[in-house]
A and B are shown apart, each in its own frame.
Chain A
Amino acid sequence: AQKVTQAQTEISVVEKEDVTLDCVYETRDTTYYLFWYKQPPSGELVFLIRRNSFDEQNEISGRYSWNFQKSTSSFNFTITASQVVDSAVYFCALRAGIQGAQKLVFGQGTRLTINP
């Protein structure tokens, strides 16, 4: 079975601080995909990044960076110099299984509040 754990339910920081959102996943499949989505107060789900299990390179996109470590089954997300607009709920998700099994398994989400 697949499982995603986001242990941090809520995080609150002051603007310009760096913040890391943790994600730990479980799967027995060797081929899988990991995702991060952002859900701002307006409610939509915005895709941020996708990683496959064969690519452990870390990725940086502006103030966002992702650290994928298969050894610890983690896919953590760091926001550098946070801004108020980063306030949202962030979801980590896993897709694994045989070809055609499309189910995305989501973590419970981390509510991030950036205070001015």
Chain B
Amino acid sequence: DAGVIQSPRHEVTEMGQEVTLRCKPISGHDYLFWYRQTMMRGLELLIYFNNNVPIDDSGMPEDRFSAKMPNASFSTLKIQPSEPRDSAVYFCASSPSNRGTQYFGPGTRLTVL
């Protein structure tokens, strides 16, 4: 079975540009999560969805960040405008239930120049 799929794997952009990260969860998983990993802050949850509905976005750093899940097999995390401090690895994860294990995608390494 395919795991969580993320694209692109690497993204380099200039400050002020819009960035869109994409995620396809494991089929049948009802929960989808976006995490960010940085050296300073480690792994932190940004937002998660249940059945395509955002449940907790308290980890989203500011209004420049937005996430959507238009259907059960696709989610996006958008940063507009991007800033150098947004440089990080962004992980998407999915889980089959509220008590289930979260399985992570390979991550997107974002560099904002």
Instruction: Point out the residues of chain B lying under 8 angstroms from A104, CB to CB.
Output: 33, 35, 43, 45, 102
B106 touches A102 (CB 8 A): no
Interface centre among A42, A99, A104 (most CB of B within 10 A): A104
Residue of B nearest to A93 (CB): B43
B interface residues, tally (CB under 8 Å): 26
A33 touches B56 (CB 8 A): no
B55 touches A102 (CB 8 A): yes
A-B contact count (CB 8 A): 52
Q: Does A64 contact B (CB under 8 A)?
A: no
CA distance A47 to B95 in the complex (A): 12
Residue of B nearest to A108 (CB): B42
CA distance A28 to B99 in the complex (A): 18
Interface residues of A, dominant DSSP: loop
One of B42, B104, B106 near A37 (C-beta < 8 A): B104
Q: A102-B95, A103-B56 are in contact. Are A43 and B109 (CB under 8 A)?
A: yes
Cross-chain pairs A/B with CB under 8 angstroms, 15 sampled: A33-B99, A35-B101, A42-B106, A44-B105, A45-B91, A45-B107, A46-B104, A91-B43, A101-B56, A102-B48, A102-B50, A103-B59, A104-B33, A104-B45, A109-B42
Q: A47-B102, A100-B98, A109-B42 are in contact. List 14 more A-B contacts (CB 8 A).
A: A35-B101, A37-B104, A42-B106, A43-B107, A44-B107, A45-B107, A47-B101, A47-B104, A102-B31, A102-B48, A102-B50, A102-B55, A102-B95, A102-B98
